[in-house]
Structure 1
């Protein structure tokens, strides 16, 4: 009898472990985040696909300012089609040290047709506080291609005005991390859930002690961390490897009204409901009647009169189908497919079911 009970308990634990997720996949750690950087620069070496002076005068001004810094005098009439003004963006990960490199994205801000083959000149990259945190420079990798004939007809594949430079920026300044200054650590749940927050608290306390973690709400869990930096790193490494049983996500139906995409979770259920589905087809035909006067009638004139016919008819006979109580996603989709419902019909049916109180799910329209 004891062996049987042990086997049952063991199977239950295996079932829980199979659905457990790493803590790192469920939360974001306060103080450990990336920071956005942006800069303004010039891309040179383009084969006639750069900015036009008449449309982007700031490109010529930037070239003139750069030449003045190197002691090269110019009369201000700079017309270089192999130069493009660009914005340079990057994401600076937490705890990056000076000398390390990060990837950058280069985008045209003028009327350049392509950045292919270009080289980004040295560009300082600033954060929100106005300080320079990295310096970017290097050869661009552009995946897009654009070809155009003399008549203006052409073809464009992907985006030739956007490129990347892997490791193209060198970090010059470290962003202070709040992780090393606080005695406590705040874990922010990516998907708010009281069940998940409570399970995280139990998992941490089960390994490190009964009072190390405290669930504040459905979004945050407070954890005590060591003050010693070496111990803190070891503590965080163990914390990341914890397996936590995540709570079941809420039943949600997402409707993208722009593309007609409908996504339903597998736990979407319905109460008993009857749905009538039918399509109407509106046919409108236009024709013109020409009335001409008799021959040799000087006062007569030709008159064109339009004639319109509008007819409405049912394209398919009306379908009525019954959804039993507790119907799952598979049954809902099968029932809707059986009546030939299109994506637009599906969105209308789901909205009507929600208003009727038969849809046990959140309805989100994006």
Structure 2
């Protein structure tokens, strides 16, 4: 075992292969995860920016005060300086009792601002309904809200959300299967059979054949040391192994809202000819106005009497078609050639999407077209 560890350390000191990534950047260890916590609480000490006569907040204050040994009715309370809030936090892996957590506090009622407020003791629950933390403290609010008597208001950032750095303490430890199982399971961030095989080979090269087994395209099972005290050191060496991930699948991603188009480096186009042009039709409406006249013959000659104006519609239709620009893709065209050819015709993002969609329908685009 000592010889294998020395060999592993020696391998880690070798020059890094180009484009190789650490295993910790490509995968995560099964069981090592964060847990979301949530709780309902009350913020007090606000300067008139609270929920007012909200029934939810008044009921919460009544319940809170009654637990302190006082008898009070919701009709006797006013929540102008208090607000009902939801408190959220993330419980990191391996955190122990007494450690501090950062919490985020958000209003759920009609409170205008949490500036200057204090969160009262709030239990933080996990998905199983158990209490894993207790939050309390003064809020730090990065927003500002001001309202005048005439109804005018000014809001900077979001004053209804605040943070309490280290405002919660851990009350319960989440058990992890890291030390109990015979194997350590690595989950790739991006499922890929070639990358999974490369990870297995890299681990076997470092710790010996048969150490790792690729279960599928996203998971690799690694035999862990039998001694639990050696697992942390083993994981430290494991996550620093360098692996060259396989190239991602050929994919074109289009953001329909922003017009952003991202083309992967492995996109190829089979032989195809593309013609792209535009037709513009412009219709102009106008009116010709002529002054009408009536000619009356009398003893003194002809007399011209002005009449009603005559309005004649005048419509002009102009059709302009830009010359269609054609370009040809040769076999196995790469990303750079594809972009250069499309840019040469001055295509806009919408034109680019239309061209790529047409190429896919024709079977010439060797990539997956995704619209987000």
TM category, shorter: 0.7 to 0.9
Q: Does 1:188 align with 2:187?
A: yes
In structure 2, the residue matched to 1:40 is 40
Question: Residue 325 of structure 2 corresponds to which residue in structure 1?
Answer: 319
Q: What secondary structure, in the 3-state scheme, does the structure 2 residue paired with 1:179 have?
A: coil
2:157 and 2:256 map into 1 onto residues whose CA distance is 25
Task: Give deviations 1:219-265, integer Å, cap 9, x for gaps.
Answer: 11111112322111111111111111211111211112233221122
Distance (Å, rounded) in 1 between the aligned partners of 2:286 and 2:49: 51
User: Is 1:106 aligned to 2:105, yes or no?
Assistant: yes
Aligned pairs (5 A) from 1:35-184: 35-53=35-53, 56-77=54-75, 78-184=77-183
Are the structure 2 counterparts of residues 312 and 137 from structure 1 closer, same or farther at C-alpha, using a change threshold of 3 Å? Answer: farther
Structure 1 stretches of 5 or more lacking a match? 1-12, 290-306
Paired residue for 1:27? Answer: 27
Contact 1:282–1:310 (Cα < 8 Å) also in 2: no
Further displaced range: 140-149 or 230-239? 140-149
Hey, what's the Cα distance between the residues in 2 that align with 1:353 and 1:158?
45
Query: Which segment drifts farther, 111-120 or 311-320?
Result: 311-320
Q: Check conservation: 2:116, 2:138, Cα contact below 8 A.
A: yes
> Whole-Å Cα distance in 2 between the matches of residues 170 and 312 of structure 1?
74
SS in structure 2 of the partner of residue 178 of structure 1: coil
Provide the rounded CA distance (Å) in 2 between the counterparts of 1:36 and 1:344: 41
Partner of 1:231: 230
The 1:282–1:141 alpha-carbon spacing in structure 2 relative to 1, beyond 3 Å, is farther
Are 1:284 and 1:308, in contact at CA under 8 Å, matched by a contact in 2?
no
Secondary structure of the equivalent of 1:39?
Answer: strand
CA contact (8 A) 1:146 1:156 kept: yes
Q: Which 10-residue stretch deviates more, 211-220 or 138-147?
A: 138-147
The structure-2 alpha-carbon separation of the partners of 1:106 and 1:313, relative to structure 1 and needing over 3 Å to count, comes to farther
* SS of the residue 1:116 aligns to: coil
Indicate if the aligned counterparts of 2:52 and 2:81 stay in contact, CA closer than 8 A: no
Q: 1:206 corresponds to which residue?
A: 205
Larger radius of gyration: 2
Task: Give the whole-Å Cα distance in 2 for the aligned partners of 1:88 and 1:317.
Answer: 61
1:283-341 deviations in whole A, cap 9, x for unaligned?
5678999xxxxxxxxxxxxxxxxx99795744644322233333333332333233332
- In the aligned structure 1, how far is the partner of 2:48 from the partner of 2:284? 53
Q: Check conservation: 2:117, 2:138, Cα contact below 8 A.
A: yes
Distance (Å, rounded) in 2 between the aligned partners of 1:362 and 1:320: 24
Any conservation in 2 of the 1:39–1:88 contact (CA below 8 Å)?
yes
Structure 1 position 210, deviation (Å): 0.9
Shift of 1:107: 1.3
Please name the residue that 2:360 is paired with. 354
TM-score of the superposed pair, with normalisation by structure 2: 0.82
Which residue matches 1:331? 337
Q: CA separation in 1, counterparts of 2:157 and 2:338?
A: 38
Structure 1 counterpart of 2:293: none
Residue by residue over 1:12-58, the C-alpha shift from the partner in whole angstroms, topping out at 9 and shown as x without a partner, is x96x71111101111111111111111001112222222132xx310
Count, aligned residues = 336
CA distance in 2, matches of 1:24, 1:231: 18
1-side partners of 2:279 and 2:137: how far apart? 60
Displacement after TM superposition at 1:359 (Å): 1.5
Of residues 120-129 and 203-212 in structure 1, the stretch that sits farther from structure 2 once superposed is 203-212
